[in-house]
Structure 1
Amino acid sequence: MPTQPTPDTPGVNDPGPGRRLGVDVGTVRIGVAVSDSSAVMATPVETIARDSGFRGPDGSDVDRILELIQEYGVVEVVVGLPRTLQGHGSQSVKHAREIAFRVQRRLKRAGSPCPVRMADERLTTVSATAALRASGVSEKAGRKVIDQAAAVEILQAWLDGRQRVVDKHNP
């Protein structure tokens, strides 16, 4: 029986204050969001064309994620782990894990202490799509930003969970 994909828990082994980068990995695009320096609010950054496969060297997508980590001075990377409502791995889990692995490997090679975490992202794309529709963004225009919006949802959920842990330990 295959093991269920298990997301990390916000706030566990927390690197402390600083910006976080949220990543929504798709088969075609990668949405990216970043938090403010106090790790309270997530905002969209950009959508990156996906070009790293399961074999061969890292693509420009991984290079760009690493550039953004450097540019924003990120202390933690949060990659969405796409699971079904029952908690099972969706077919996209291997894509998310592959990108997370490649980013973590490159960070380690560079001597960076920045951890890469996997966060539960059930229904984030559905929620992001509904939010865009409710704000009047057309479906065609929404395709250009849906991955960023999903990354915001992933990162904001992580930040909120992290804040609950921080508040519990620092009343």
Structure 2
Amino acid sequence: MAQVQPDTPGVDDPGPGRRLGVDVGTVRIGVAVSDRDARLATPVETVERVTGFKDRDGADIDRLVALTEDYDITEVVVGMPRDLQGNGSKSVKHAKEIAFRIRRRTGLPVRMADERLTTVVAANAMRSAGTNEKRGRKFIDQAAAVEILQSWLDGRANYLKDLKENES
């Protein structure tokens, strides 16, 4: 598959407010949310994936939309799976589909973030914390969503800091 480029954190920034991080899988969708200052990502829940490409929005999309309302979300960050060379995997299509549906239903800015190795990092962290693999499956998607969102938040903070310094 060809190279795909993620969005850059901070570019076209919608300003202060909470962000929702989404890790799209073919079976589950991990969800994380930031604090109001957009500094720290925390896990929210794992949503069972039910909506296929040609289906009407299902309970999974309804739940993601409800979470944007419940947390008063300013921006949604969806992980874009790429390999180490930056090439898109088959899963990119799934992520873009979910991003499109969220954008269409909420009108919020939805960004595609580089998610290379986030599931590996999340799995290693959970293993280090003593969570067994079978029990951890329920939470691995949330942990990956936290990794995706935290990386975005850190990149956004750096971008905005550099922008402010360059204006001075």
Q: TM-score, with normalisation over the residues of structure 2? A: 0.96
Number of matched pairs: 165
1:83 aligns with: 82
Q: What is the correspondence of 1:30-109 to structure 2 with a 5 Å cutoff?
A: 30-108=29-107
CA distance, structure 1, for counterparts of residue 75 and residue 17 of structure 2: 8
User: Is 1:129 the counterpart of 2:123 in the alignment?
Assistant: yes
**Any runs of at least 4 consecutive aligned residues in structure 1 with deviations exceeding 2 A, and if so which?**
none
Residue matched to 1:152: 146
Report the Cα distance in structure 1 between the residues aligned to 2:72 and 2:160, rounded to whole angstroms. 21
For structure 1, the 5+ residue unaligned runs are 109-113
- Structure 2 runs not aligned, ≥5 long: none
CA–CA distance in structure 2, aligned partners of residues 148 and 30 of structure 1: 8
Using the aligned pairs only, state the percent identity.
Answer: 65
Residue 4 of structure 1: CA displacement? 2.2
Tell me the equivalent position of 1:111.
none
- Distance apart, 1:141 and its partner CA: 1.3
Asked if 1:120 corresponds to 2:119, the answer is no
Counterpart check, 1:10 vs 2:9: yes
Deviations 1:35-71 (A, max 9, x none): 0000000000000000110002111111100000000
RMSD across aligned positions (CA):
0.9
Q: How far is the alpha carbon of 1:84 from its aligned partner?
A: 0.5
Residues 56-110 of structure 1 show CA distances to partners (whole Å, capped at 9, x for unaligned) of 21111111000000000000000000000000011111110110011111123xx
Measure the CA separation in 1 of the matches of 2:36 and 2:135: 29
